[in-house]
A and B are shown apart, each in its own frame.
Chain A
Amino acid sequence: MPKKIRYFDRNKEPFLSPEERVKTFKEYALGFSVSMAIDEANRCLFCKDAEKRCIKGCPIHVDIPGFIKKITEGDLVGAYKKIIETDIFPSICGRVCPQERQCEGSCILYYDTVRDRKNKGLPVSIGALEKFVGDFIRISGIEIEEIPDPPTGKRVAIIGAGPAGLGCAYDLAMKGHKVYVYEALPKIGGVMTYGIPSARLSKEIIDYEYERFRKLGVEFIFGCVVGRSISLREIINEYDAVFIASGYGRGRLGLKGDDLEGVYSAIEVLMRVNLFGEKVNLGKKTVIIGGGFTAIDAAITALRLGVETHVVYRRTRETSSARQEEWDHIKEEGAFIHWLTQPIEILGEEGKVKGIKCIKMTLGEKDESGRPRPVPVPNSEHIIDCDSVIFAIGQDPNPVSYEDVPEIKRDKWGGIMVNERYETTLRGVFAGGDVISGGDTVVRALAQGREAAKFIHEYLMESK
């Protein structure tokens, strides 16, 4: 008997109510129960051409039908092993990936990518299932053996313990190389630790992943600012290969009045709250500028600090890079979202922020990104009173680690240029993640780190 296609009865992951979740930095998405996960897994059609569908939609190409099949069989260890063949962080990617644009956006129930047409159903909750598998293994304490190859005697330095650095470290350690990761901050994770609020990604998960790396023999050197504490050249001389994954983490400002007291980069607010547990003084009302993941994360944080939170974005919800459901979440929690609103000046009094002057926008012709270009509406200037302004308009590269090594060619934005093998212009030095591609998602950085590891391994074994 053919399997009944369940187009619409998608299991919804339980959430804390908006009233509850806004009071806490604890995670608000509570995860599937076992029965929900198995039921949701059974919605999957296990497409034979999944590599043209959900697997293709996943930047790291997880065998999605493969791991979901294991869930339906009750083999969660098998499901976990299947995922980590490609994605070493199921609990993280299950939480922070924009699945609706990746795997779930390519699920046949929702969209037929082969025929390029919309289907009538709701996609399988692939992200929630991936998270379920990762969480089950972590919480149950099941030890998954990850046995590295015999030691090769090669030593590799990785600059940065964010997703790209960790992805690369994992694969190189599994290949038997001795890996040393230089990290400026006191913990691993990069943006996953200092950027993404605990409400979206519990820091316990990062701690768990850290232990996995330690068991693999990866050495972390925390509090080491490459370029200041030690020069990159010293590192290059000391190791057989170097992978730079220093990210794109420098905050960005850029508006008249951005030197006023009460102006913050989103990175500052997120880092101080997420990593250092501080209560940042945003006053009674804050305005966040931006429409991406960082703006959402800043809003989640500001709301939990008890601040009236406004988000201004010059484009529309549909053209924003943040997840649609996250706009809903912050709105439910009380954020005011001003679409098609361009800030033009931060206003101050006695050196402190007192408001932000904005202009309304309308959508015009398409720009080079293919999105309609926002155009100012004449005479629509208006002021939003506020005590603080948070810039969440993207980040800049942080060149501190490589600025003193001119042989490493940089792009016009200050990031590092690499070839298709992730090699920089200096032999033996590779780079990947946001430092080569600008700000992107965790999973893309992770994928690049793992891909770069293949080429670094080849390089190491060739240069025996």
Chain B
Amino acid sequence: MVRIERREGKGWFFIKVDKGNIPEWKRGQYFIIRYGENYKGIPSFPFQIGDEATFVIHSEEKIEEITNIEGPCGKPLNLSGYTRILFVCNEKGIPAFINIKQKGKEHIDLFMLGSTELGEELGVNYRLIRSLEEVKEEAHKSNYDLIISAGDNEISKGILDLNIPVEHVACVDTPIRDGAGLCLICRVYVKGKMKLNCVDGRWFIAGDIDWDKLKVSKEEKVGCLRR
């Protein structure tokens, strides 16, 4: 059973599925939520609310029916050895944060940039920050042993540019089509080698990524073809 809840005016859709109806995921894995006759897909990190797996996706189009939920995809995120983690994201990264938080016991603080509406709706505790400089200050004060960034790639790049002496893992945002490593649309250059965000990601050491080569991160205009 799949339920779709639309948040009017915001473009957010909450997709809720009885947990028994989709495969169990590991920490940091995502699914591709497909809708429409052309199986348009949006990658989304699952998290649990009650007995339901919940996916939050953003779409300008109205989503009336989910045709397929694919996954779990991508490699799990292994956080063993870390105890104090700072998670930095904008609204788009909230599902990833909850996904990570629910599957472990580490202490994870959340810093949010921009709108907090989704965070509030999902009941997460966060600190609203106005600039990434605050991340640098807090990292110095609070002895974090890992920073995780998610949401828009700009956030990850911005944190990297601050040269904070703390390990930094980024959730990379690229278009993803098949989730199986076929089409290369999601290619990411990591230490000079091509990796695929769909199967090798979505978590990479931020400093290893050639962010300037993530040129495919802009979604192209999508239109249905006459068949």
Contacts and interface: CB of A to CB of B under 8 A. Distances in A.
Nearest to A221: B23
B177 A268 contact: yes
Contacts of A281: 220-221
B179 A225 contact: yes
Contacts of B226: 24-25
Contacts of B71: 223, 225, 228-229
Given A229-B23, A229-B71, A278 B223 contact: yes
Interface string A6-45: 0000000000000000001110000000000000000000
A276 B41 CA distance: 9
Contacts of A194: 178, 182
B183 A268 contact: yes
B74 A228 contact: yes
Contact of A228 (B34, B73, B185): B73
Nearest to A276: B38
Interface in A247-292: 249-251, 253, 259-261, 264-265, 267-268, 271-273, 275-281
B68 to A, nearest CB: 5
B68 A222 contact: yes
A209 B206 CA distance: 45
A223 B72 CA distance: 9
Contacts of B38: 275-278
Contacts of B216: 261
Interface residues of B, number: 42
B225 A184 contact: no
Contacts of B74: 228
Contacts of B182: 184, 194, 249-251, 267, 271, 398
A351 interface: yes
A26 B68 contact: no
Interface in B169-227: 177-185, 189, 194, 199, 212-213, 215-216, 220-227
Contacts of B153: none
Contacts of A400: 180-181, 199
B69 interface: yes
A187 to B, nearest CB: 8
Contacts of A341: none
B184 A259 contact: no
Nearest to A304: B225
Q: Could you say which of A259, A264, A275, A281 has the most chain B C-beta atoms within 10 Å of its C-beta?
A: A259
B149 interface: no
Give the bracket for the number of chain A residues in contact with chain B: 35 or more
B32 interface: yes
Contacts, number: 123
Given A223-B32, A250-B184, A351 B222 contact: no
B177 A229 contact: no
Contacts of B178: 184-185, 194, 271
Nearest to B72: A229
Nearest to B68: A186
Mostly, the A contact residues are: loop
B156 interface: no
Contacts of A223: 32, 34, 68-71, 179
A143 to B, nearest CB: 26
A368 to B, nearest CB: 28
A353 to B, nearest CB: 10
Contacts of A26: 227
B123 to A, nearest CB: 29
A272 B178 CA distance: 9
B225 A273 contact: yes
A230 B71 CA distance: 9
A305 to B, nearest CB: 8
B73 A279 contact: no
A224 interface: yes
Given A224-B70, A253-B194, A400-B199, A186 B39 contact: yes
Contact of B73 (A229, A259, A398): A229
B180 A267 contact: no
Contacts of A278: 38, 220, 222-225
A91 interface: no
A272 B67 CA distance: 17
Interface in B129-165: none
A-B complex: 8 closest residue pairs judged by Cβ atoms? A223-B70, A277-B38, A184-B180, A261-B215, A268-B183, A279-B223, A251-B184, A265-B184
Interface of B: 23, 29, 32, 34, 37-41, 67-75, 177-185, 189, 194, 199, 212-213, 215-216, 220-227
20 contacts: A25-B226, A26-B227, A184-B178, A185-B178, A186-B34, A228-B74, A228-B75, A229-B23, A229-B70, A229-B71, A229-B72, A250-B181, A251-B183, A271-B177, A271-B182, A276-B40, A276-B177, A278-B225, A352-B215, A400-B181
Given A225-B73, A278-B225, 8 more contacts: A184-B178, A186-B39, A194-B182, A225-B71, A229-B72, A261-B215, A351-B215, A400-B180
